[in-house]
Chains A and B, each alone.
Chain A
Amino acid sequence: MIKRAVVIGSIVVALGLAGLQASGASRVEALGDWVESHFDFRLPAWAPKPLEPRGNPTTAAKVELGRYLFYDTRLSRDGSMSCASCHEQARAFTDGRATSPGVTGEHTKRNSMSLVNSAYFPVMTWSNPLLHSFEQQALVPLTGTEPVELGLSGREDEMIARLKAEPVYPALFRKAFPREKGEISLATVTRALGAFQRSIVSFRSPYDRYRYEGDVDAVSDSVLRGEALFFSEKLECHHCHNGLNLSDSERHARNRLGAFAFHNTGLYNLDGKGAYPPDNQGIKEITGRAEDMGRFRTPSLRNVAVTAPYFHDGSAATLDEVIDHYAAGGRTLKEGPNKGEGRLNPLKSSFVPGFSLTEKEREDLKAFLRAQTDEEVLRDPRFSNPWPKP
């Protein structure tokens, strides 16, 4: 009797677990706090390591699985798109478009951000102070509905079933998640995607070689003149673009506390009181505070020459247009629904006062920006599509 009861008990427990698995419960542990990663990112000696969530340590197996998932169109509702559809390696993991269409054709509101060195950002995306990890962020393109991107809202189980049916995955998941017994779930998918994104680091631009490795021949005199302009009080670029990624949002092993910042740069001024277009108003959409109108995160300037178009809505096609905007101290749009004088936006950062540049200075500034391109990261096989070409 006693034995039988035990046996029945085990069956009940087993059924219970199976039931939980089916309904989405997971063996995966919580992300927890932020700790220094022990993964080999192949960093130069001077570069600090990224931090990672304690509950999702970066491992080679997890990065490899994440790479397969990143390039896998099974991660979209109709099998037409993957993460890489909007994050192309050759464009430093951006897509060359102002905004990006999802599986329904609806466009995102914001420009696809570069993923290179995004492991060093303490907040994800253009304008969400509450979004701190890749693992959380992955749910936005996967399951978001405003707008629909990969279109998996309410269809996660279909995606999981598709992954389970792909022969390469069971072994990849077992290697990446041994403690979780190779569980294939939304939790392990987002953790593997996070590990892969975290692994995309770059410190091999000509400017890196000059600035951090003392190679004075790595950059031209024009780059050095552009650097002096960039760091001058005349242009004020450096007040927001400084540090490891030329941003003022960063966090890493030598700066564990980290910091993040959001600024209104005077791109719009629809009503003379500082309004941005109603569908794209910066962190105000999250915080609900009127003062946060038009405040967006400072992007990294790494690889900026290959990540056009620019700004949160991709509304500047070229680096020249970006420089024009800052030189004018804010953009003036003379017609259309977004017309207005951004220069007079009352919520504009005081670090965007405007400046004048000679043609030669402009070329020098652009040479400095082009020196931020790491040609190797644009084709490094570690970050490229692992699937055989069809």
Chain B
Amino acid sequence: MAAMALTTLAAPALAAPKSQSVEIRFAAAVNGAPLTCGQRYTGIGSTGASLELQDFRIYVSNFRLLTKDGKEVPMALTPDGVWQDDKVALLDFENATGNCNGNAPLNTTIKGTAPKGDYSGVVFDIGVPFEINHQDPTLAPAPLNLSATAWPWRVGYKFTTIDLETAPAAGKTASASGFSIHLGSTACGEGSWVTPPKMACSNPNRPEYRFTAFNPKTNTLVMDLGAVLATTDITTNAPQSPSGCMSSEEDNDCVGLFDRLGLTFRGKPSQGQAFITVK
């Protein structure tokens, strides 16, 4: 009897799934206030300027969960034909209202699976992995099928499509009325803008974010635009450079921003990312 009971008890345990579903929730904020289209936010950056959202879409990839003893366990993304395939997912915080361009649906949760276990942390990258980063958006599958988040394919996708309308604080002047944060790979070699590079780009610009105290069931990862722009003047644009920071090494608008995104810029390592926190 005892043996039989053991067998029957053991059988369901063997048949039970060895993986579990995991959801990683994200939120976007401006100095702690929820970020939405159609809202003006004040006190931004080094000049206390104001901003209004036009676009906020971010590619994330390379998710790993951390066990209590610090081991990284890969999390597999669940392809859904719209927001994520097995290698990359798109977070979308614009709903095409207010001054925002894009489309109505939001996507703030990454869905995947991981081996059954107890996890206490998460690691991931902002960016599109190199092997799928350099392709024609017209031919690419979701979520790389959007012309709004595409760049010429030599440099690959915009990892962050963040476009802002800006205005100076009272009594201050401005020389620019918009600021973009287009993070992407640079120095991808010579050649046509519409062919992929032969070798990896010198500046991949895929920041890694690591949180050792994160419980997927109770925590959210908050991307804060106010925090990442804290040292940047969003109402001026460096001469002879694209609007805001589009990742060029020549662009002075990127200096503070790259540091706070957690990226090395012009060989100078970041003092630590200030973009994402656990809440």
Contact = CB atoms under 8 A, between A and B. Distances in A.
A254 B141 contact: yes
A324 interface: no
A248 interface: yes
Given A231-B193, A259-B102, A291-B99, A242 B243 contact: no
Contact of A228 (B137, B146, B193): B193
Interface string B105-143: 100000000000000000000000000000011110110
Interface string B228-265: 00000000010000111010100000000000000000
Interface residues of B, dominant DSSP: loop
Interface string B195-210: 0000000000000000
A257 B104 CA distance: 9
Interface stretch (B70-78, B177-185, B211-219, B271-279): B177-185
A257 B152 contact: no
A289 B37 CA distance: 13
Interface in B80-115: 82, 96, 98-99, 101-103, 105
A367 to B, nearest CB: 15
B137 A242 contact: yes
Contacts of B193: 227-228, 231-232
Contact of A248 (B147, B178, B192): B147
A259 B146 contact: yes
A260 B101 CA distance: 6
Contacts of B146: 255, 259
B178 A243 contact: no
A248 B99 contact: no
B150 A46 contact: no
A243 B102 contact: no
B33 interface: no
A353 B101 contact: no
A292 B96 CA distance: 13
A250 B142 CA distance: 14
A327 to B, nearest CB: 15
Tell me which of B98, B103, B163 has the highest count of chain A C-beta atoms within 10 A of its own C-beta: B103
A351 interface: yes
B24 interface: no
Contacts of A242: 137, 147-148, 150
Interface string A202-226: 0000000001100000000000100
A144 B127 CA distance: 48
A248 B101 CA distance: 9
B43 to A, nearest CB: 20
A212 B165 CA distance: 35
A18 B194 CA distance: 60
Contact of A211 (B103, B105, B136): B136
Contacts of B179: 350
B148 A248 contact: yes
B237 to A, nearest CB: 8
B145 interface: yes
Contacts, number: 92
Chain A residues touching B, range? 35 or more
A228 B192 contact: yes
Contact of B82 (A238, A257, A289): A257
Contacts of B177: 346-348, 350
B26 interface: no
A233 B163 contact: no
Given A231-B193, A233-B246, A236-B242, A243 B105 contact: no
Given A233-B246, A242-B150, A254 B142 contact: yes
A236 B147 CA distance: 14
A374 B217 CA distance: 54
Nearest to A122: B103
Contacts of B147: 242-244, 247-248, 250, 259
A33 to B, nearest CB: 13
B264 to A, nearest CB: 21
A353 B178 CA distance: 11
A256 interface: yes
Contacts of A262: 101
B166 to A, nearest CB: 9
A258 interface: yes
Interface string A17-46: 000000000000000000000000000001
B169 interface: no
B151 interface: yes
Contacts of B103: 257-260
B271 to A, nearest CB: 28
A338 interface: no
Contacts of B163: 350
A378 B102 CA distance: 31
Contacts of B178: 349-350
A144 to B, nearest CB: 25
A286 B52 CA distance: 20
B207 to A, nearest CB: 21
B244 A350 contact: yes
Interface of B: 52, 82, 96, 98-99, 101-103, 105, 136-139, 141-142, 145-148, 150-152, 163, 165, 176-180, 192-194, 237, 242-244, 246, 248
Report the 3 A-B pairs with minimum CB-CB distance, sorted nearest first.
A350-B178, A243-B147, A261-B101
16 contacts: A48-B138, A211-B136, A212-B139, A227-B192, A233-B242, A242-B150, A247-B147, A254-B145, A259-B146, A259-B147, A289-B98, A291-B165, A346-B177, A350-B243, A353-B237, A353-B243
